[in-house]
A and B are shown apart, each in its own frame.
Chain A
Amino acid sequence: AQTVTQSQPEMSVQEAETVTLSCTYDTSESDYYLFWYKQPPSRQMILVIRQEAYKQQNATENRFSVNFQKAAKSFSLKISDSQLGDAAMYFCAYRSVSVISGLTFGEGTQLTVNP
């Protein structure tokens, strides 16, 4: 079974600064998908960014980018130019290639953005 570990329960960043959230995972599969989800106080789960394991290039979505290290099984999220609206719980998630596969989540990192 796959596991996802987020070792930082809480992180804080100053507005306009950059912050990196860590995620490691364990799997015996060679192909899979990795995700970062954001959960604001409304508790709605919002997809931030997605990475396919077969792609060597790190995914980027505007101010959000990942550092995907497949051999190390590491998948960190970098948020540049942090905004107050980025404050939320961030979850790293793993999904097998199977179409019907559910997501395996980490325990989350609570991000605070200080003005």
Chain B
Amino acid sequence: SQTIHQWPATLVQPVGSPLSLECTVEGTSNPNLYWYRQAAGRGLQLLFYSVGIGQISSEVPQNLSASRPQDRQFILSSKKLLLSDSGFYLCAWSGGTVNNEQFFGPGTRLTVL
């Protein structure tokens, strides 16, 4: 069966520090991968998606970047965090068929102080 992992679960970082959040998927190959951000009490906003290694599409211009160094690994990064980067970050994957649902990871809670 497929599983999706996110690391770390929680993170507290000072303003101006770098960021690296990791997402890995097991049990499937060539997944579509997604990064979402959820502000407190709000809905999810799509940040990035990827259809393959090295292929990244950005939905919202911002302080963040994403990379996909391996087929089942998706990384969210920042060189210098802003207070507004605080939130709950969710990674998701979907398979190749059109009507597949997106399966979400457990999320990372990021607090920027």
Enumerate chain A interface residues (CB-CB to B < 8 A).
Answer: 4, 33, 35, 42-45, 47, 50, 52, 91, 93, 95, 97, 99-100, 102-108
Contact = CB atoms under 8 A, between A and B. Distances in A.
Given A102-B34, A108-B43, A45 B99 contact: no
B46 A99 contact: no
Nearest to A106: B43
Interface stretch (B12-20, B67-75, B77-85, B100-108): B100-108
Contact of B104 (A45, A50, A95): A45
B111 interface: no
Interface of B: 32, 34, 36, 38, 41-46, 49, 51, 57, 59, 88, 90, 92, 94, 96-99, 101-102, 104, 106-107
Contacts of A91: 43-44
Given A102-B34, A103-B102, A45 B42 contact: no
A105 B46 CA distance: 9
Q: Decide if the interface of chain B is mainly helix, strand, loop or mixed.
A: strand
Nearest to A44: B106
A44 B104 contact: yes
B42 A108 contact: yes
8 contacts: A45-B44, A91-B43, A91-B44, A99-B94, A103-B102, A105-B43, A107-B42, A108-B41
Contacts of A95: 102
B28 to A, nearest CB: 14
